[in-house]
Chain A
Amino acid sequence: MSSQKKRPPRIEPFRHKVETDPKFFDKGWRKLDDAIREIYNHNASGLSFEELYRTAYNLIIHKHGAKLYDKLTENMEEHMQEMHASIEAAQGGLFLEELQRKWDDHNKALQMIRDILMYMDRCFIPNNNKTPVFDLGLDLWRDNIVQSPKVHGRLIDTLIDLIHRERTGEVINRSLMRSTTKMLTDLGSSVYEEDFEKHFLVMSASFYSGESQRLIECCSCGEYLKKAQQRLDEEAERVSQYMDAKTDEKITAVVVEEMLTNYMQRLILMENSGLVNMLVEDRYEDLTMMYSLFQRVPDGHSTIKSVMNSHVKETGKDMVTDPERMKDPIDFVQRLLNEKDKYDSIVTTSFSNDKSFQNALNSSFEHFINLNNRCPEFISLYVDDKLRKGTKEANEEDVETVLDKVMMLFRYLQEKDLFEKYYKQHLAKRLLSGKAASDDSERSMLVKLKTECGYQFTSKLEGMFNDLKTSHDTTVRFYAATSDLGDAPTISVQILTTGSWPTQSCNTCNLPPEILGVSEMFRSFYLGTHNGRRLTWQTNMGTADIKAVFGNGSKHELNVSTYQMCVLMLFNSTDCLSYRDIEQTTAIPAADLKRCLQSLALVKGKNVLRKEPMSRDISDDDNFYVNDKFTSKLIKVKIGTVAPQKETEPEKMETRQRVEEDRKPQIEAAIVRIMKSRRVLDHNSIVTEVTKQLQPRFMPNPVVIKKRVESLIEREFLERDKTDRKMYRYLA
């Protein structure tokens, strides 16, 4: 009873104390060997865990660890061989099931073997740099079963074949697939990757390369994309069902590569169903799919963008340069707005409001809108139409949204100053003729322009509004201060600040004496209250309400322009006047006079005058009579002026010239500002800087800039550098 180890006396000696027994190890090992066999044979119920654990423990503490480990490896290898044989013998579809069953057996057995050898795992293995028992079991399974030549290829082929069958619509045993791939991952991620995933990806690539070739020939773009999306979903689902999550990304990449990347150009540009077609037909669903699918493809979105851009530019160019369209400015702008709406909603619904798409769209609109230099005028006309009284009974909110949209177009304009010119003209007309529908809408438009272009842009427009307000007050005060007016006609005077309003040629016509009296009184009243001002009558812009009694006794109130009033008042004293007489007495410019006579004598239903001879045009020899037979259902008759809404060709030229004139001081100011801070600069830099500064208002022409520079040199603001002629120098 001698114990090798020094122990406190209370401890019972070991039962296996016979360390010197040469068969000590063999006896112990035989016990374990038998137990392991029983475990593999599902016959472990008779085994005593404690006894086996103790046996293994004793072998370890008696320094038989290494031997035990070797024997264990040997033993398990034998069991692997047995299992290998039975797996190999399994036929056809049973192969995977048999493999799976044996794998389960092995796992269970391994767990129990590990339990028995727990002490070895804890004390022997870490100190001797060995593989722990469980991992050893997995490694042996991997080397002897999965990677054995007879099983390896068959396993891969079976898995690949099953997946192929599932792709073609068959139903396969997914749980078996799941447990098989799980086995491969359990054996280590490299086993899964090398022995399954690699092959799976290669096979998938060839499958999808074939499928996409077939589909591209027979499907429209939309159908093809739908199929691709479906395949992507399928693969993602497959991975989630029975593969490692890491495969998801890889298989998606394969499908994207084979089905989308390789055919990207062909799909987007596909005739009759490609991107252009989808855009034209507003096929939101297809567009959404295209957007989301090509997100995965490098350059996918940029390709979509560029194709969309060139399409928008092309259709836009057709739209703005079509001479037919230019006949109706309102419709022209409306079409632009509709186009913009259409693409906005495509970007919002289908392209998930992608900023880069919005930007691309903006740049294409900007491109084609500026192809037609009448756009600023048309847009202003469109606004005029919306803000004019009586054209449409739209409520203010609707007008507001329309104005917002118009502002979008406005933003695209390069020649914003041109727009300003036209807007000023149109606004002046609206205000003076009292046709502005809503003060609020007018002001909100002003605010929009102000936020867009700054204070400077709208200061004059605001001045116009102020003028109207003060005019009203002044008129009221005039009547309050003046009592001896008798039965002189009532006048309402709009005092317009010079400069704020579009300048008009001011040929004052001769007013009828009745009016002249009152207006002279007003003039003295006004100049009496405001020192140092000059008052000029703009007779071409006023209106008048006159009461007329016709020969047949009918009484009417006529709403006419000031010019028309002057002409009609002449007929108070006579029945017949020749054109020359009228021209002489009134001193109205010929063109205006003709226009005003046309509207008085030639418009059906409103012809208060009669012309002799009857003809369509006014000639210098015509005579005019009061039309005694004039009738109208209405008491109030509004006699319009035949005024062309759109500018005529010479007017257009004139406006343009004026704009060009206005630009000169602006360009000069910019040059001086830049040179003041930079002192010395070369020509090209000046051009760039000036363009940058003025871009928000217009695109300055480099030739004009050059001329301005020369003019500044002449006026000794700048000088050329004496050595380098390209450089300019600022002269303080």
Chain B
Amino acid sequence: MCTPVKGRGRVRLNVGGRMFETTAATLASAGRDTMLGAMLDAAWNNSDCTVAADEEEYFIDRDPDCFAVLLDLLRTGSLHVPPHVTDRFLCREALYYGLLDAVRAARWGPLDGDRLCLAASVPGTATGDGTAVRAAPDGGLCVAHGGAVRVYNWVLEERRPVNLHHAPVNDAAYLDESTLLLAARDRPGGGGGVAAFSALTGDLTHRYRVSHDRQVRPFTPGALAFDPHRGNIFASCKGRFNEYGIGVWDSTAGEQVGFLYEPPGCALGDADKLQWIDGTGTLMAATMFPRTDSSFISLLDFRDKNGVAWSWSDVGTPASSMEDKHVLHAVAMDDGQSLCVINQYDDLGFLDIRSSGNASGGVRWRSRSKLAAATRKKQKRNAPPQRAHGEEETCYPKLAAHGGQLFASTGDAISVFSGPDYVLTSTLRGSDGAGAICDFSIGGDRLFALHDEVNVVDVWETPPAPVI
């Protein structure tokens, strides 16, 4: 006994000759700042011509097939792309309607290390010298290759590469999806330093200077870190005149706001890794093998006068330990209570940063993780042992933490550890024969792994939640 209701709130669209009928609410869900949202806005519909609401029809001069996909996206929030609609085509149409962000959000789900799938591989053009990969907040990425940084948007299209007078790049960091920070080595005659670029155009937007005694001095930045809440940029710096330490800049004003000269015994200027820890308001600075013979990790509090709030070093660790364990990489865990470190045998260790003062040698090493043995066995089976050995020499393991999970790159795979005790739950193994992973990065709910041998970047995504 349904009485046909007059089409209140219903909208008829003629897209490229095909009729679509939907509700105003569905179209409005796209947002006011999209083409569809604006089209239906009162400002454009206050015509006093007396066309009956159900006779009204909007014409859009676009492809209907693609519109069908996008309308479906608005209706259901999920993306279903028929085989004949290519990615490029879909993106271009989405851009027309202003729905590109919605497409991106529907493409992959929130990052979960245990559900990652290899989504794409970005082939490298340069060979052998990819040093670092960084993920952008929107799912784009950049790869540092010697003196330049290749930039890709989230559709994995390459943009204009970025360089700072082609000086060798030590580190890169995204301030936001359109601003890329570069740390390049200082060379005689100038060229190095820290600079911000537009990730969209590749244009240099600002150079961050360091002054000592009110004089701008050249310096080589090592690692970069960013505190998004206060907008502070940090870089480990080595000046030409032994001005070693951590430089701090205000990212909006672009001015230097501080410089923490390294105290004796703290190799801050050489730090290979900086990480801002939000929970404690401190900056982790880690200087590690092979740059130095002994590893040194400290937490720096810039509100404090003496700066170093906590530090750890493996200098003077009793040699009685059976093997000489070098800490090769470190990462602060999400909870802000501990650091995770990894050594050359791929053993994971943990450091408690809540206890103040020096925690010398206080690493809780996990017994030789099975992962190392498994990796090695697999490597022996899959690849000629010599090559595997060679890879291990150059590609040191890296660590990352995300969403309570711990990621470690070892050899040609990335291991995922989950749960409160960080149990090995998944192993990601990407493009075959691409060689060991020399760096990886997590951001924009994607994981990028840079392979050493052929410079390919594997892109890992979590597929959207299952339908049922």
B-binding residues in A (CB < 8 A): 7-8, 10-12, 15, 44-47, 49-50, 53-54, 57, 108, 111-112, 115, 118-119, 122-123, 126-129
Contacts and interface: CB of A to CB of B under 8 A. Distances in A.
Contact of A108 (B34, B43, B48, B201): B43
B422 interface: no
Nearest to A14: B61
B58 A50 contact: yes
Given A50-B59, A115-B43, 13 more contacts: A12-B63, A45-B46, A45-B47, A45-B48, A45-B49, A49-B44, A53-B35, A115-B41, A118-B33, A118-B38, A119-B95, A119-B98, A126-B178
B39 A49 contact: yes
Nearest to A46: B47
Contacts of B96: 57, 119
Nearest to B200: A127
B352 interface: no
A483 B43 CA distance: 121
A112 B39 CA distance: 10
Contacts of B371: none
B386 interface: no
Given A10-B65, A50-B61, A127-B201, A112 B43 contact: yes
A58 to B, nearest CB: 10
Interface in B190-211: 198, 200-201, 203
A144 to B, nearest CB: 23
Contacts of A12: 16-17, 61, 63
Contact of A118 (B46, B48, B98, B198): B98
A678 B63 CA distance: 97
A327 B98 CA distance: 97
B178 A8 contact: no
Contacts of B39: 49-50, 53
Contact of B98 (A8, A15, A122): A122
B84 interface: yes
A47 B63 CA distance: 23
Contacts of A122: 95, 98
Interface string B40-62: 01011011110000000011110
Contacts of B33: 118
B95 A44 contact: no
17 contacts: A10-B63, A10-B65, A11-B89, A12-B17, A12-B63, A15-B61, A45-B48, A49-B38, A49-B39, A53-B35, A57-B96, A108-B43, A115-B43, A119-B35, A119-B96, A126-B178, A126-B200
**B interface, size bucket:** 20 to 34
Interface string B81-94: 00010100100000
A490 to B, nearest CB: 78
Given A50-B60, A118-B98, A44 B43 contact: yes
Contacts of B34: 118
B61 A54 contact: yes
Contacts of B47: 45-46
A604 B398 CA distance: 111
Interface in B435-466: none
A427 to B, nearest CB: 56
Nearest to A121: B33
Nearest to A47: B44
Contacts of B178: 126
Nearest to B47: A45
A12 B86 CA distance: 16
Contacts of A129: 198, 201, 203
A634 to B, nearest CB: 82
Nearest to A53: B35
A11 B90 CA distance: 12
A8 B89 contact: yes
Contacts of B60: 50
Contacts of B35: 53, 118-119
B432 to A, nearest CB: 32
A123 B203 CA distance: 16
Contacts of B38: 49, 53, 115, 118
A289 to B, nearest CB: 40
B160 to A, nearest CB: 10
B141 to A, nearest CB: 19
Contacts of B16: 12
A122 B65 CA distance: 23
A111 B201 contact: no
Contacts of B49: 45
B58 to A, nearest CB: 6
Contacts of A126: 178, 200
A340 to B, nearest CB: 46
Contacts of B41: 115
A450 B17 CA distance: 100
Interface string B269-286: 000000000000000000
A260 to B, nearest CB: 35
Nearest to A128: B201
Interface string B200-242: 1101000000000000000000000000000000000000000
Contacts of B17: 12
B389 to A, nearest CB: 47
A231 B211 CA distance: 50
Contact of B84 (A7, A8, A45, A119): A8
Nearest to A58: B61
A108 B49 CA distance: 21
B63 A11 contact: yes
In the A-B complex, the 5 residue pairs with the closest CB atoms? A115-B38, A45-B47, A49-B44, A11-B63, A49-B39
A631 B285 CA distance: 105
Contacts of A50: 39, 58-61
B354 to A, nearest CB: 35
Contacts of A118: 33-35, 38, 98
B95 A123 contact: yes
Nearest to A12: B16
Nearest to B14: A50
A57 B98 CA distance: 12
Nearest to B16: A12
A119 B39 CA distance: 13
A111 to B, nearest CB: 6
Of residues B39, B46, B61, which shows the largest number of chain A Cβ atoms within 10 Å of its Cβ?
Answer: B61
A556 B89 CA distance: 129
Contacts of B43: 44, 108, 111-112, 115
A15 B43 CA distance: 27
Nearest to B13: A50
A45 B59 CA distance: 16
Nearest to A57: B96
Of residues A46, A49, A123, which shows the largest number of chain B Cβ atoms within 10 Å of its Cβ?
Answer: A49
A661 B200 CA distance: 93
B458 to A, nearest CB: 28
A15 B61 CA distance: 9
A49 B39 CA distance: 6
A3 to B, nearest CB: 13
A715 B78 CA distance: 101
A137 to B, nearest CB: 15
A719 B38 CA distance: 99
A504 to B, nearest CB: 66
